[in-house]
């Protein structure tokens, strides 16, 4: 692998794109979650569903072997290539209406090298601002981690999940659901749909459930309890694989909802916190 040396120069670089938030992708996710496709122009987009829009439209010749844009195209050319979505945080400032012309501004904020339990890691923090009618509606930071290729079966151990949920929901997704979500988010990462690639290259036993999809389901658990949100912070702790069932769980702690996703055997997959808006009222 050729190692680029100019990746620190990417810090501060900015990209922007503008799109009309067509109700189609929102209805696509609704039916993927087995719900009626009732979204129409003027409806408020649910929290984090903006991930259905603003795709990296990269030519096929600029994709890497994993299906993502090759390093150096949309992300800095750090020396390691195995990509994972580590976590992020979002602040919700105002509603995002479907049908609106919306702009996303993305900036590489930081690139840091760390030593992990299994080897070196590179963390890339990307800040996003979603603007509607000239006003900031959402601010977000995503953290992407790059690591060395596995030398054998990839470890996916995680700490035990909490056992004090006040409410939860069980999901059992299949390859069709993961294909649909990949298509809706224009995510070419092969770990989500190519089982042979997962086993032969990444060392995973089966396709991996998307981190953003898990975060969306955690948010959905809160929003469907009629809690207007001010912010949401999440961190991936271990991967979940098809075809196992998993749960999304929550409990109240003052004005915060503590959230987590857990595997069927009780392993923590993602942890999160959602903070209520100050003007929200209890459901």
First-to-final CA distance of the chain: 54
Q: Worst-scoring range by mean pLDDT, 12-26, 46-60, 110-124, 160-174?
A: 110-124
pLDDT in tens, 52-99: 999 988 999 999 999 999 988 999 999 998 899 999 999 999 999 999
| Residues 225-267: tens digit of each pLDDT | 877 899 999 999 999 999 999 999 999 999 999 999 999 999 9
Distance, in Å, from the CA atom of 65 to the CA atom of 189, rounded to the nearest integer, reads 9
**Residue from 107, 97, 38 nearest 74 by CA:** 107
Under DSSP, the state recorded for 60 is: G
* CATH code of domain 7-276: 3.10.129.10
Which band of pLDDT confidence, cut at 50, 70 and 90, is reported for residue 281? very low
Structure tokens at 80: 């390691």
Q: Please tell me the predicted confidence (pLDDT) of residue 279.
A: 65
Q: What is the pTM of this model?
A: 0.92
The yes-or-no verdict on residue 2 having pLDDT over 90 is no
Predicted pLDDT of residue 152: 66
Contact 66, 191 (CB under 8 A): yes
Structure tokens at 184: 């809706």
Angle between helices 175-184 and 23-32 (to 10 degrees): 170
DSSP class of residue 199 equals: I
């Amino acid at each position: 692998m050729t190692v680029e040396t100019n990746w620190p120069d990417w810090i501060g670089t900015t990209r922007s794109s503008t799109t009309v938030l067509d109700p189609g992708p929102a209805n696509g996710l609704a039916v993927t979650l087995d719900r009626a496709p009732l979204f129409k122009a003027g409806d408020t987009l649910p929290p984090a569903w903006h991930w259905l829009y603003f795709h990296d439209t990269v030519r096929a010749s600029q994709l890497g072997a994993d299906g993502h844009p090759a390093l150096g195209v949309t992300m800095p050319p750090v020396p390691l290539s195995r990509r994972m979505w580590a976590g992020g945080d979002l602040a919700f400032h105002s509603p995002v209406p479907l049908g609106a012309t919306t702009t996303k501004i993305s900036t590489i904020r930081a690139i840091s090298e760390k030593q992990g339990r299994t080897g070196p890691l590179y963390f890339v923090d990307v800040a996003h601002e979603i603007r509607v009618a000239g006003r900031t509606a959402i601010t977000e930071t995503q953290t992407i981690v790059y690591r060395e290729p596995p030398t054998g079966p990839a470890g996916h151990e995680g700490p035990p999940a909490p056992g004090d949920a006040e409410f939860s929901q069980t999901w059992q997704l299949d390859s069709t659901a993961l294909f649909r979500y990949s298509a809706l988010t224009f995510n070419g990462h092969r770990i989500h749909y190519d089982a042979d690639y997962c086993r032969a290259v990444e060392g995973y036993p089966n396709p991996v459930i998307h981190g953003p999809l898990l975060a969306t389901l955690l948010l959905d658990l809160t929003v469907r309890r009629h809690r207007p949100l001010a912010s949401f912070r999440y961190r991936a702790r271990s991967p979940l694989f098809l075809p196992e069932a998993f749960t999304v769980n929550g409990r109240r702690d003052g004005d915060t909802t503590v959230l987590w996703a857990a595997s069927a055997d009780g392993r923590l997959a993602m942890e999160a916190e959602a903070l209520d808006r100050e003007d929200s009222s209890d459901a």
